[in-house]
């Protein structure tokens, strides 16, 4: 997998042109996408149209870090005049009239969009099997899932169909597929990146972030997309760092916490052993490691699914077949037509979460379920704050297992939901976290290591992850 820095050097030194670079990537897409199903829409004509402007910037010596770099975009991020389907029948014919803020920022850098990636419908899933356009396959072994919901983004990067990609992360949807596909995925602090133009799943949890072949590449992309936005009142006005500027700094004296609850029942021995081997690498890099506790972990998945489903039930109420999107031909009254539209337009997992959300918010159950979930959220945030009073970073597995076979768990939602146990807490607390490969299982599938940082400390997070990747030869384990 080529890195952004390497391609930047080759483009700027005129070793290849933007068009030649696009030729390579579109050839790979034409060759492999039918088997992997990573893309819903391939934007070949649009990409070549952008290539001329990017090449001119390079020729004039005005290239920015992402000028001419082929990127893929998860299909729940709005792209002007390019379909944005959310992998749902409900939006299968939706073409936005505006760009998401992150897309506008990428275009200002001269980045090239090669396509919109497949995903779980409305980002609701952990396997990328709930897409209206068919399951995404793991490029390491196509019998296995790539993770979700940003499975298409992770798969296309792992398979070399894009240099990097944007995904969205509501409860682990960048990090878990990055772990399953053997690439690096960064979920920024909540508010670090504008959500304007991101089709909402759970508004208090969603965050856009990069998937790439290295922590440094993730930092380069975050440099381009981070920052406050007048169109998103939840975005932060905190100054944007150069998130790659601490790469190469010594890790001596850094204190890393290991939450004991993350290494208990449910974690496979292969994953546990790989993470502990990674811990030894950090010790050799000069880090101090100490055991810490996140006692509320056992409640985290329940709290996450109650909160996220409650917000989803509200956000998805806008899809009525009247304003935009799919509309049923059945029903002779407004209410009947809306009912048929939603029944036909939404998939099973989306319907399940809408119903769960409505139930949790309904009269008589609000205090028993949703309100308790909010209290758990507050408790988790307090526990993280206590840990970060004594630690600089936290290390854990990204997922309790490696990728599982397609079809194995799709009919067991509880089992699927528990696969998010190590990732949902950072979304609940609004913290940044990154996943990078730390080994392989006996079946050859990658294992992911998760590093969690303090709020708005992505600069340190990227540097620490990059130091680990360098120490294990770029993550090629």
Q: Give the active site residues.
A: 74, 149, 173
Please, what is the angle between helix 269-284 and helix 458-471, to 10°? 100
CA angle 315, 320, 323 (to 5 degrees): 95
Give the torsion through C-alpha atoms of 273, 277, 283, 284, to 10 deg.
160
294: Cα within 13 Å, side-chain hemisphere: 31
By C-alpha distance, which of 297, 471, 473 is closest to 380? 297
Please, what is the angle between helix 18-36 and helix 4-12, to 10°? 150
Q: What is the DSSP letter of 249?
A: -
Give the dihedral sign, CA 91/92/93/97: positive
Helical (H) or strand (E) element with 49: helix 44-59
Can you tell me the distance from the alpha carbon of 134 to that of 118, in angstroms, rounded to the nearest whole number? 8
Cβ neighbours of residue 84 under 8 Å, at least 6 residues apart? 75, 76, 77, 78, 91, 94, 95, 96, 116, 199
Q: How far is CA 328 from the centre of its chain?
A: 32
SS3 state at 380: helix
Query: What pairing do the DSSP bridges indicate for beta strands 207-212 and 164-169?
Result: antiparallel
Can you tell me the distance from the alpha carbon of 97 to that of 361, in angstroms, rounded to the nearest whole number? 33
SS3 state at 231: coil
Q: Are 130 and 147 in contact (CB under 8 A)?
A: no
Q: Which phi and psi (to 5°) does residue 426 adopt?
A: -70, -35
E-strand spans in 12-136? 39-42, 70-74, 112-117
Q: Are 422 and 396 in contact (CB under 8 A)?
A: yes
């Amino acid at each position: 997998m080529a890195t952004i820095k390497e391609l930047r050097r080759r483009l700027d030194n005129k070793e290849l042109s933007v068009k030649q670079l696009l030729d390579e990537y579109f050839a790979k897409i034409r060759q492999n996408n039918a088997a992997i199903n990573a893309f819903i829409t391939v934007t070949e004509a649009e990409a070549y149209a952008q290539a001329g402007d990017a090449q001119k910037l390079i020729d004039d010596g005005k290239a920015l870090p992402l000028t001419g770099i082929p990127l893929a975009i998860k299909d729940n991020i709005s792209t002007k005049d390019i379909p944005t389907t959310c992998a749902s029948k409900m939006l299968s014919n939706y073409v936005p009239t505006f760009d998401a803020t992150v897309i506008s920022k990428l275009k200002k850098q001269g980045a090239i969009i090669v396509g919109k990636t497949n995903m779980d419908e409305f980002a609701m899933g952990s396997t990328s099997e709930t897409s209206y356009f068919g399951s995404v396959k793991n490029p390491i072994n196509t019998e296995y899932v790539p993770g979700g919901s940003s499975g298409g983004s992770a798969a296309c990067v792992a398979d070399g169909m894009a240099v990097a990609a944007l995904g969205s992360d509501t409860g682990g949807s960048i990090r878990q597929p990055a772990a399953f596909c053997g690439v690096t995925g960064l979920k920024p602090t909540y508010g670090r990146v504008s959500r304007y133009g991101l089709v909402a799943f759970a508004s208090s949890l969603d965050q856009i972030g990069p998937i790439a072949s290295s922590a440094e590449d993730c930092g380069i992309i975050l440099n381009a997309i981070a920052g406050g936005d007048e169109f998103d009142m939840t975005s932060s006005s905190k100054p944007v760092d150069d998130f790659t500027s601490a790469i190469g700094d010594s890790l001596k004296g850094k204190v890393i916490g290991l939450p004991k609850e993350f290494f208990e029942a449910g974690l496979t021995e292969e994953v546990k052993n790989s993470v502990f081997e990674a811990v030894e690498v950090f010790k050799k890099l000069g880090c101090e490691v100490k055991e810490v506790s996140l006692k509320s972990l056992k409640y985290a998945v329940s709290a996450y699914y109650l909160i996220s489903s409650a917000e989803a039930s509200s956000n998805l109420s806008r899809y009525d077949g009247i304003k935009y999107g799919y509309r049923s031909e059945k029903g002779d009254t407004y209410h009947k037509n809306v009912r048929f539209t939603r029944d036909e337009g939404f998939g099973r997992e989306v319907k399940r979460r809408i119903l769960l959300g409505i139930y949790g918010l309904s009269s008589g159950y609000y205090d028993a379920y949703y309100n308790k979930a909010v209290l758990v959220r507050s408790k988790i945030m307090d526990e993280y704050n206590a840990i970060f009073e004594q630690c600089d970073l936290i290390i854990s597995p990204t997922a309790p297992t490696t990728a599982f076979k397609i079809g194995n768990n799709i009919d067991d939602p509880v089992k699927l939901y528990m696969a998010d146990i190590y990732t949902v807490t950072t979304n609940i607390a609004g913290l940044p976290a990154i996943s990078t490969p730390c080994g392989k299982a006996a079946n050859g599938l990658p294992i992911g290591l998760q590093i969690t940082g303090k709020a708005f400390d992505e600069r340190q997070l990227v540097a620490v992850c990059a130091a680990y990747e360098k120490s294990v030869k770029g993550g090629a384990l």
